Amino acid sequence: MTPEEFRSAGRDLVDWIADYWERIEEFPVRSQVEPGWVTAQLPTRAPQEGEPFEAVLRDLTDIVLPGVTHWQAPGFHANFNSGGSAPSVLGELAAAGLGVQGMLWITSPAATELETVVMDWLADLLGLPEPFFSTSTGGGVIQDSASSATLVAILAARERATQGRGNADGLPSLDRPLTVYASEHAHSSFEKGVRAAGIGSGSIRAVPVDHTFAMDPDRLREMVEADLAAGAVPTIVIANVGTTSSTAIDPVAAIADVCEEFGIWLHVDAALAGSAAVLPELRWIIDGAERADSFVMNPHKWLLVNMDCSAFWVADKHALTSALSINPEYLRQAATESGSVIDYRDWQLPLGRRFRALKLWFVLRMFGAEEIRRIVREHIRLTALFASWVEADPDFEVTAPYPVNLVCFRHVGGQEINERIMDTVNESGEAFFTHTVLEGEYTLRMAIGAERTEEHHVRKVWDLIRAAAP
């Protein structure tokens, strides 16, 4: 492709995306294709000769689009939302255009330094404590996902708890087993990380929750004391700020008391709800994070950035790099040896890394903090409004507190009716939401975090839900 051909195709693609956004409400929110439909439209082998861009663009419309679930649609209320704002897409395009691999500072100083700066900006917007800033003992790094961030937190905690023997000799060399703690509502990425770190699911202590589905810190303390008495090494506690099922907020400060007393690594998983800390009135959700060892939140969920962009901070960067740094001869160079630069490959599992800071930078600059706060605040208002409609209807009930942008609710008639309501609405294509189970009861989940969602959209979903109810 010549630069001229690229210009022309690029304009066509940008037009295609802008048209898609303009027409997004015309598509069924959840893709309606049957399994295998997309595969059946595609040849079984890659073409031998290059095809014109127009042919690819045509298939993007005819084959890919029907198989897409429209996460940016205003009627998308499933799981948690995933961002895709225009500034973020432009930042992604710029990153792809530069094609940088930012594993070391020297491989593109701007990729490293911009990341350090935007992570400090974001820490400031969220009101994170001083140790998480690059100017202090710690700093931030962009990971691909909260799952990866939690895994590296577990590895750093493992390294600290074993004084390096976990990495050097392997866990079987230890004479005392490691134990790890999270509420029974913690995200499954925690267990996956524990397995990947070789600690094993059997070492997980699922701490019971209180009536708000938040971790009970007294039970945490009891479990830690019992494990210590049995000769184990309590290694890490994950506090969830916004659980996946119901956005319950674990009491980070009370959990930090236990962690400090027994020298346990405290990791805060605020993947979704952390975004709400941009609002001063919701800062309380991260009270106690100033005593955490690490903290993760996903700008790619609610903060208008497209996947992938997971913001991860540590209070002591050496605790992280001593677990992850390996310096083979072929990567040695003067800037690293001088100790005056950051090499982010030492802050993550893979060596190579994308220039993700660009899209976060574009979003923070082009929206500005005030507009970001306005959008997040509006989603929270719509969430409370939706909850008020549910609460006012005797056939429905709200089943959990809704501190941020998710309402858990159900029809009082039982699981079958709730499943039918959800399937009817999702099959209508007008909206898409999902479910969970709370206290053994089938529960519907309504997440409100898409940039385009307005009050009339939320009202429409509620009308659809009521129309689908018996």
Residues that bind ligand PLP (CB under 6 A): 80, 145-147, 187, 189, 240, 242, 244, 269, 271-272, 298, 310
For ligand PLP, the closer of residues 85 and 147 by Cβ is 147
CA dihedral 405, 434, 309, 160 (to 10 degrees): 90
Measured from the CB atom, is 113 or 191 closer to ligand PLP?
Answer: 191
Choose between 147 and 399: whose C-beta lies nearer to ligand PLP: 147
Question: Nearest to residue 111, comparing CAs of 377, 361, 311?
Answer: 361
What sign results for the dihedral spanned by CA atoms 51, 55, 57, 63?
negative
Closer to ligand PLP at the Cβ: 74 or 242? 242
Closest distance to ligand PLP from the beta carbon of 458 (Å) = 21
Nearest CB to ligand PLP, comparing residues 134 and 189:
189
Closest CB to ligand PLP among residues 105, 312: 312
User: Cα separation of 9 and 216, whole Å?
Assistant: 56
Q: How far is the CB of 261 from ligand PLP (least distance, A)?
A: 25
Residues contacting residue 239 through CB under 8 Å, at least 6 positions apart: 215, 250, 251, 252, 255, 266, 267, 268, 269, 288, 292
Q: Answer positive or negative: Cα dihedral of 196, 123, 276, 79.
A: negative
Q: In angstroms, what is the minimal distance from the CB of 79 to ligand PLP?
A: 6
Measured distance CA(316)–CA(270) in Å, rounded: 19
Q: How far is the CB of 99 from ligand PLP (least distance, A)?
A: 24
Query: Shortest gap between Cβ of 461 and ligand PLP (angstroms)?
Result: 20
Q: Provide, rounded to whole angstroms, the least separation between the CB of residue 298 and ligand PLP.
A: 5
Smallest distance from ligand PLP to CB 264, Å: 19
Q: Which is nearer to ligand PLP, 166 or 288 (CB)?
A: 288
Minimum distance between the CB of residue 272 and ligand PLP, rounded to whole angstroms? Answer: 5
Instruction: Report the nearest approach of ligand PLP to the CB of residue 119 (Å).
Output: 16
Return the number of the residue (147 or 426) whose C-beta is nearest ligand PLP. 147
Residue 135 C-beta: closest distance to ligand PLP, Å: 27
CB of 437 to ligand PLP, least distance (A): 16
CB of 247: closest distance to ligand PLP in angstroms?
Answer: 9
Residue placing its CB nearer to ligand PLP in the complex, 116 or 240: 240
Closer residue to ligand PLP in complex, CB, 248/314 = 248
| Six token digits for residue 25 | 């409400």
Residue 309 vs 464, nearer CB to ligand PLP = 309
| Cβ nearer to ligand PLP, comparing 79 with 333 | 79
